[in-house]
Structure 1
Amino acid sequence: MNKCLLVLLAGFLLFQSCKNNPNPKELIDEIKSREVFENNETISFSDTTQLSFERIAIKDKEVLAELKSFYSQNGYNTRWLYEKKPTPLFYGYMKVLEKSENYGLNPETYRHKALKYLVDSLYSKTIDFTELEQADREITASFLLLTKHLGSGRVSKLSHGQHIWKPTKRNRNDVEILLKLEDTDDLVTVVDALHPSHLLYKRMSEKYAELRADTQPDSIIKVAFENPKLFVDGYKHSAVEAMRHNLKQKGYEVTPLVSTNVVDTVLLNALKKFQETKDITPDGVPGKTTLYHLNMTKAQKVELLKLNMERMRWLNNDLGDDYLIVNIPDFKLFVYHKDSMIHQMNVVVGREYTATPVFVDSIRHVEFRPTWTVPQSIIHNEMIPQMVSENDAEKYQKRGYTIYENGEKVDPNSVDWTNPEIRKRKFRFVEAPSARNSLGLVKFILTNDMSIYLHDTPSTRLFSREERAFSHGCVRVEQPAELAYLLLKNQDEWTREKVDQAMQSGPNQNRITLKNRYLISLLYITAWVDENNQLIIKNDIYGFDQQQLKELKVYE
C-alpha cells in the first residue's frame, strides 16, 4: 500500500487500504515488472515530428515531454486505438474520467466529452489514419495529465506571502506504467491505485459525493454580532433569530422561551453543545470561530473537501514504515508505525506572521539538553529592541544567554545597542542548556534549510489553549520525553528512564543519531471525515484555503 501522507488526526484515522480492494502498491509494482506491452493490431505513426506532438489540445510542458517519451519507447505505435476499433483500455479510460468527479476532479479538464466524440466520429466513417494517430496522442496526453494531477495535484502556486508550502516531487514514472498496461487490465482499478490509497482519502471522497447528491436546499443564514460578549440571557437582536434558525438546521433544539430574537437558556445551551462538537470552549459566546462554523453552508463544505483531497494528492508519496504527521490547523502530532497510529499529542505551531512551513522532511537526530542559537530575525526584531526599551543591556545575559560577534564573546555593556547601524552587525545569542531554555530539554533535528525543527518548551500552559499558534515557526511538542522514547526505543536500550535521565541530568548537547528513518510531514488539512462519518472542519489559520480554492477555480 502507498504509505502516503496524510494519516491525520487522532482517533479518526485508521490509515489502511480497503481490504476488499487490491493492494495499490503491489498492483503498480506488478505492472512495472512486466515487459512493454505489444499487440500486432497497433498502427505505426506516419508522422513523428515535433510539430505532430505540439498540436495536442492539452498545453502542458511536462505532459508534452512525457508524451514524446512514451511514443518513442512505444515504437511510435498507437496505444488506445486499433484499425477497426478502440482498445478495451480506451473504454476503461472513459470510465475512469466519469468516476473522477467523485474525487473533486473535472472530467473536462481531461477532455472527456471531446475524446469520446472524436473516437466515435473516427470509427463512423472510413478510417483516416492521420486523424487516428492524432486522436491516440490526444488520449495519451489526457491520461498523462490525469496521472500527473493524481501524483502531484493541479495547483502550481502553493505558498503565498510569507507562508511557505513546499511541494513534494512526484516519484512515480507514469510513462512506464502506461507502456506496460495490457488490454485486459481493468484501468479503473489501476488508476484507483494511483490515488492516495488510504482510508481518509476514501472517506472524504464518499462524503464529497454524499453532499453533492443532497438536493435539499441549504437555508443557512449568515450571522454576525458586533459585540459577541453581549450575547447573554435576555439579549435582544435581529441576528438572534438567524442564529436560532441555523442551529435548528444543524439539528439542535432551540424553541424560544420568550421570542425568537431574544437570547434564552435554551439557545445558549444549544450553542454550547454546538461549540463542543467543534472543539471550541463551550462558553455560549458567538465569537469568530463559532460563527465560522455556524455560518458554514453545504456548498462551502463541498469546496473544502475538494480542496483537501487535492492537498492529499500534493503529498502522494511513500512515507515508509515509521513516520510522523503534524497537522498544523489541528495543532496535533501523530506517530505511526506500519500505518497504525501509536501515539498523538498536542503541539504549538507558528503564529500567522511566523507561520510553520508546510513540507515533508526527515528526523535525523535527537538532542538532549540543547543550546538555542537565536535566529537573526529574532535578535534584531525582538531582543535588541527589548534591551533598548528597558535600558538593560544585560537583560539576556541574566537569562543565561552568551553573546558573540565574529566568534568572540561580547560584553553587552560594551555595545551601543541604540546605534541605528546595529542592524548591520551580526551577533550570535546562545542560550545555555537548562529547563528554562527556550527549546526545553530536548529537540528533534530535521534536515531542512529553514531552521525548522520540533522541540520541548518551558511554556507548557499554551498546550491547554484551543488554538495553539504561538511559535516563531518551529513546532513545540507537549510530550517531548515520550516522543524521544518512541524515536529511540529500538536502539541502544533507550528506555523511558534513560530518556528522563538524559533530559534531567545527562550531558549538555547530547546528540543521538537515529538508526531508523523517520519521515515527518507537516501538513495543512482543514477538512476531513472521521471514523464516525462526521465531517471535521478546522480554522484556516494561515489563509491558505481561499487562495488555493481560487487556484482550483481554473479547473471548473
Structure 2
Amino acid sequence: MKLFRFLRLFVLTFVLSIFFIFSKCSTKEPKEVEIKNEISESIEKTFVLTSFDSIALDTFFTKYPKLAIYKKQVTTTYTRHTFNYLWFDLKGRKETAEVLYNRLNSLPEEGLTAAIPYKEVFEGLYFSDNLAPNLETELLLTSYYYFYTQKVLRGIDPSKAKELGWYLPRKDVSYEDLLDSLLIHPTKVDKQSQLMGQYYQLKEALQKYQAIEKKGGWPIIATEPSFKSFKPGDSSAVIGLIRNHLYLTNDLSANSKSNRYDDELKEGLYNYQLRNGFNADSIILPKHIKDLNIPISERIKTLEVNMERCRWIPVEFSKAKEFIVVNIPSYRMTYFKNGAPKVVSKVVVGNVMNKTVIFSGEMKHIVFSPYWNVPSSIIKKEIKPGMARNKNYLAQHNMEWNGGNVRQKPGPRNSLGLVKFLFPNSNSIYLHDTPSKSLFNEETRAFSHGCIRVAKPKELAYALLEDDPKWTKEKIDAAMNKGKETWYNLDRKVPVYIGYFTSWVDQNGVVHFYKDVYSRDDRLAEVLAQE
C-alpha cells in the first residue's frame, strides 16, 4: 500500500515537472518570434548600395543642362569616391541630405533670390515613398551642393567682381574637401565658420528688416514744401511719424506716439544720425527726412549686396595679429591689434573722378616730414596752368622742380602733412596726414585724388611703433616736425585692406548704412539678379 502511494506521488511529480518544462518553453516562443520580426524589419530597411558607371554623369547632365556648370566639380567628387553613393547609406538617405535641403530652401535668409533649377522635379523624387537609393536624386543632391556653395559661400565669379572695381584678393577654397567633412558632420553647414563674421551679422540684420517689410515697412514721411527744420520743443504730426520710424529701426526703445519733439526723440535721432553717416545734432533737416524715406526694400537690397561682398573676403583676414581696414563709404579707418580696435579715425578718400581703389597691401614704411611728389596728371591739370597765371606759383606753394618733376617740400603746408604710411602698390595709394583738417568735419569726405587722408596720423604712428624700442612718442613728434624727410622701415609687414561696404554691423550689433559714394550697389545688385 505504501509502495503504491509512493509510485502515485512519483508519477504526479513527474507529470508536473514535464508540464512546467513545457510551459517554460512556451514562454520563450514569443520572444523568439519578436527577435525574428526585428531582424525582418531590419532587412526591410537595409538597401543594397553599389557603385555606378561614370557614363551616368553624361546622361544626367544632358537631362539637367542648367546644372551642367557643376559637372566638373561633380565628376571630381565621384572620381575621388570611386563613384559610390554619397547621400545614401544602407539605411537610406543620410541626415546630410536633409540639412542641404533645408539650406536650399533658406536662400532668402542669405540675401539671395536665385531660383533653384528643377526644384519641382527634385522635390517629387525627394518626397516619394520609395526611400531606396536613387541615382537621379543622388546626383541632384551633389549638384545642388555645388549650387549652394557657389551662391552662398563663394559668391559671383572673381572676374565679375574685378569688373565692379573690387581688387581685394580672394582665397581659393576646396568645396570638394568641405563636402567630405559635411558628410561626416552634417550640422557643420549651419555653423558660422564658412564666411567672415560680418556676413552673419548682416544676415541677422537682414532678417530683422525682412520682418519689418512683411509687416508693411514704414510709411512715407511727407512734409510741406516750405519745411526747413524741426528743433527740440516743436510739435507736428510729422514728428510723430519720425518717432514711429525710429522705433521700427530700434533707434528708439519705445514709442510714446507723441507729436512733440522731446528729449526721448532727440536721443533716437542721435542714434539714427550716427549709424547713417550724418553728423549728430538735434536739428531735423530735409536731408534727414529724405534719408528716412528710403524704402525698406532699398535697405534690404543694401544688406544683400554687402553680404555678397563679405563672400569675397577670406575668413582668415580678421585673425591676423594686426591689420588696418579702410571702409570707403563710411570714411573711416580702423587699426586692429590683438583682435580689438586700437585706433579709429575719420578719413578723406578719392572723389568720384579719382576713386580710391579697392585692394589690399602690406604696410612696410613710415615716412616722417615727407616730400610730396606731385603726380604727372596733377602737374598737367593744375600746376602748369597755375604757373602760366603766376610765375611765383611754385614758391608760393612751397614746391620745386626735381629732375623734370615737381615736388612739394616737407613742412606743415605739405599736402601730405607731417607723415605718410606706405604699403607699396601699383595704384600709388597710401595713407597720409593733411593740413586741411577742416574737411574731416564734413559728412561726405570724398575730396582727394585717390590717396587716403587720416584725421589721426600721429595716433596711428604712435600705435604702429609702440612696441619698437627705437621710437618714443617724443621721437615721433620730433621726426614729424623736423622738416627733413626721414624714412623708417617697419620691423614687420602690417596688412592693409581698403574695402567698400555701404552697410556694416558694429561690435555692439548696431547696423550702419552709408551713402553709396561711387554708385556701386546698383551695379552689383544687377549682377546678382542675373546669376
The answer to whether the 8 Å contact 2:369/2:411 transfers is yes
Paired AA for residue 344 in structure 1: V
Q: Secondary structure at the match of 1:181?
A: helix
The answer to whether the 8 Å contact 1:195/1:313 transfers is no
Residue 274 and residue 50 in structure 1: after superposition, are their counterparts in 2 closer, same or farther (change >3 A)?
A: same
Partner of 1:97: 104
Shift of 1:60: 7.3
Distance in structure 1 (CA, Å) of the matches to 2:121 and 2:474: 66
Residue 528 and residue 490 in structure 1: after superposition, are their counterparts in 2 closer, same or farther (change >3 A)?
A: same
Distance in structure 1 (CA, Å) of the matches to 2:500 and 2:140: 35
Partner of 1:221: 220
Paired AA for residue 146 in structure 2: L
Distance in structure 1 (CA, Å) of the matches to 2:193 and 2:210: 24
Structure 1: which 5+ runs fail to align? Answer: 1-39, 234-239, 257-264, 410-427
Partner of 1:412: none
| Number of residue pairs matched by the alignment | 466
Partner of 1:204: 202
Counterpart of 2:410 (choices 425, 428, 433) is 433
Q: Secondary structure at the match of 1:366?
A: strand
Distance in structure 2 (CA, Å) of the matches to 1:42 and 1:504: 78
Shift of 1:443: 1.2
Shift of 1:502: 2.2
Shift of 1:550: 2.6
The answer to whether the 8 Å contact 2:88/2:94 transfers is yes
Partner of 1:14: none
Partner of 1:303: 301
Whether 1:495 and 2:472 are equivalent positions in the alignment is yes
Partner of 1:312: 310
Partner of 1:552: 528
Partner of 1:195: 194
Distance in structure 1 (CA, Å) of the matches to 2:517 and 2:225: 21
Deviations 1:458-512 (A, max 9, x none): 112212222222111111111112212322333343322222222222852x332
Q: Secondary structure at the match of 1:330?
A: coil
Q: Secondary structure at the match of 1:250?
A: helix
Partner of 2:30: none
Whether 1:77 and 2:84 are equivalent positions in the alignment is yes
Shift of 1:526: 1.8
Q: Taking structure 1 as the reference length, what is the TM-score of the superposition?
A: 0.73
Q: Which segment is superposed worse, 315-324 or 471-480?
A: 315-324
Alignment of 1:438-453 (within 5 A): 438-453=415-430
Shift of 1:321: 1.9
Higher relative contact order (Cα pairs below 8 Å, separated by 6+ residues): 1
Deviations 1:58-81 (A, max 9, x none): 4575x4443333333333333224
Between structures 1 and 2, the one with greater helix share: 2
Residue 176 and residue 532 in structure 1: after superposition, are their counterparts in 2 closer, same or farther (change >3 A)?
A: closer
Shift of 1:453: 1.0
Q: Secondary structure at the match of 1:512?
A: strand
The alignment's C-alpha RMSD in Å is: 3.6
Structure 2: which 5+ runs fail to align? Answer: 1-47, 248-254
Partner of 2:6: none
The answer to whether the 8 Å contact 2:504/2:511 transfers is yes
The answer to whether the 8 Å contact 1:151/1:194 transfers is no
Counterpart of 1:274 (choices 244, 261, 269) is 269
Deviations 1:112-154 (A, max 9, x none): 6554434445x73987xxxx54543433232223223444423
Partner of 1:459: 436
Alignment of 1:101-500 (within 5 A): 101-106=108-113, 108-109=115-116, 114-121=121-128, 124=130, 132-133=134-135, 135-154=137-156, 157-158=160-161, 164-178=165-179, 180-181=180-181, 183-185=183-185, 187-190=186-189, 192-198=191-197, 200-214=198-212, 215-221=214-220, 223=222, 230-231=228-229, 245-251=241-247, 266=261, 274=269, 277-279=272-274, 280-281=278-279, 282=281, 284=283, 286-288=285-287, 290-319=288-317, 320-388=320-388, 391-404=389-402, 408-409=403-404, 428-500=405-477
Shift of 1:531: 4.9
Partner of 2:496: 520
Shift of 1:158: 4.2
Deviations 1:284-306 (A, max 9, x none): 36344x23421033333222222
Paired AA for residue 94 in structure 1: Y
The answer to whether the 8 Å contact 1:151/1:316 transfers is no
Shift of 1:438: 1.1
Distance in structure 1 (CA, Å) of the matches to 2:119 and 2:496: 37
Q: Secondary structure at the match of 2:93?
A: coil
The answer to whether the 8 Å contact 2:192/2:200 transfers is no
The percentage of counterpart residues that share the same residue type is 24
Deviations 1:336-356 (A, max 9, x none): 123222221111111122221
Q: Taking structure 2 as the reference length, what is the TM-score of the superposition?
A: 0.76
Shift of 1:450: 0.8
Paired AA for residue 138 in structure 2: D
Distance in structure 2 (CA, Å) of the matches to 1:57 and 1:247: 53
The answer to whether the 8 Å contact 1:42/1:79 transfers is no
Deviations 1:147-193 (A, max 9, x none): 23444423764467xx8332532332222222x326441x3324534
Distance in structure 1 (CA, Å) of the matches to 2:131 and 2:459: 71
Counterpart of 1:538 (choices 514, 523, 529) is 514
The answer to whether the 8 Å contact 1:94/1:116 transfers is no
Paired AA for residue 148 in structure 2: L
Deviations 1:217-262 (A, max 9, x none): 234216477676x4579xxxxxx86676344443477866xxxxxx
Distance in structure 2 (CA, Å) of the matches to 1:169 and 1:306: 19
Partner of 2:93: 86
Paired AA for residue 330 in structure 1: S
Distance in structure 1 (CA, Å) of the matches to 2:219 and 2:382: 45
Distance in structure 1 (CA, Å) of the matches to 2:429 and 2:467: 25
The answer to whether the 8 Å contact 2:223/2:238 transfers is no
Q: Secondary structure at the match of 2:501?
A: coil
The answer to whether the 8 Å contact 1:435/1:441 transfers is yes
Distance in structure 1 (CA, Å) of the matches to 2:67 and 2:426: 34
Residue 365 and residue 139 in structure 1: after superposition, are their counterparts in 2 closer, same or farther (change >3 A)?
A: farther
